[in-house]
Structure 1
Amino acid sequence: MAEELGLRERKKRDTMWRIYRTALDLFAERGFDKVSVQEIADASDVSKMTVFNYFGSKEDLVFHPMEEHFRDAARAVRDRLPGESAVDAVRRQFLEMAEARDASIGLHSEPIFLKVRKVVSETSALMERAFLASRRGTREMADLLAEETGDPMLAMVAAVSLTAARNALVEEHYRRLAAGESPEAIAADAVERARHAFGLVENGLKGYAVKA
């Protein structure tokens, strides 16, 4: 029974990824707005209903595997260690992800992740959704810091600053990937880049929100 369940789950996972990759290929080739869900279903050899069983909307066909990553920095702040500042926590998490060649920060050679960036950057509705998801992540971090420090205004300043530094690093990774550099080459100087980027934030936030 367990073996049968495992096979069923693998088939479901494979179907989901087939639909996802097919959708991204079509979006990258023809544009997000010019591809229908029915066309994605036909190209994936599934029904339209099956597509919606795996992905709640057409936009989810782009964002489903990545949207949670907009909350990564907030999670780093929430889970930081005693004695660790907010900036130290976000920097540490980023460097751990760089070491792991995490695709969400642009350190994976799989072409599909560049396709996601291309499709999003060329589609205003997807850009808006990405902006709103990023803003929710920043707000979550600000709320966490405000609860600890009692100062919502400074908490928002800190959250925006940390998000901006992290986003700039990720953008640089994707820029270099698109230029043909390997993830290994980009990761080789990730520590130095992160030191400079978060150092700019730290100079203004030094000693802020050190967890008791």
Structure 2
Amino acid sequence: MKLKVTFCVRGVLSALLANLFLHYAFDKWMRRTYPQIPFERYADDVICHCRTRWGAEGLKLALEQRFAQCHLRLHPDKTHVVYCKDSNRRGSYAQIQFTFLGFAFRPRMAKNRWGKIFTCFLPAVSPQALKRMRSRIRGWRLPRHAPLPLEDIARILNPVLRGWWHYYGRFYPTEMWKLFRYFDERLGAWLRRKYKTFKGHPGRSLRKLNSIAQRSPHLFVHWERLGHATVG
């Protein structure tokens, strides 16, 4: 079981002061009071690793009391006891997933070295993070930059795509292909705006994009990984 905790810190001057306050109010208290329970904290977001449901629920109650003493409270909608369900842990519990640092942790299908399919509790890019990245891609308005050559677009945007890939693609990377497919579709729209021969022919423009990706896979990080575009 894991206890996913988010604090509501009120009356502080800055995130830096809040972080410093939680270092004493939570970190040091946890190491002193529950040395057997590992945890990770980033700002006001915390995961505590508990062995049993009763241990997690007991810790949650203790934290509520601790933070009441510190004039803080746990976020009522973001603090959960989560059951890490997988092929070896098959019990039932209301909450079997949580989000932390842009990753959604939940049961996912995996394959071992012998090709056997099983369920594992794994992180992958969260739907919220995907939505933010899609929104940023949409904000680039690629079709409006038709005068630019593709090499210039790659030089400007590939560092951003590479950063996303290195962070979110570290775990369960297939979830990132949804984002890269959307990016390639926007590049297809850029092609249709740039060349009249592709106007009104989305399929043709995406096939052209794929042929470019096969010739120049170094332009974008996902083309490098695949050897071709995600469309066409």
Q: Is TM (by shorter chain) over 0.5?
A: no
Q: Comparing both chains, which one has the higher relative contact order based on Cα–Cα distances under 8 Å and sequence gaps of 6 or more?
A: 1
TM-score norm. by structure 2 comes to 0.36
The structure that is helix-richer by fraction is 1
TM-score norm. by structure 1 comes to 0.38
**Structure label with greater radius of gyration:** 2
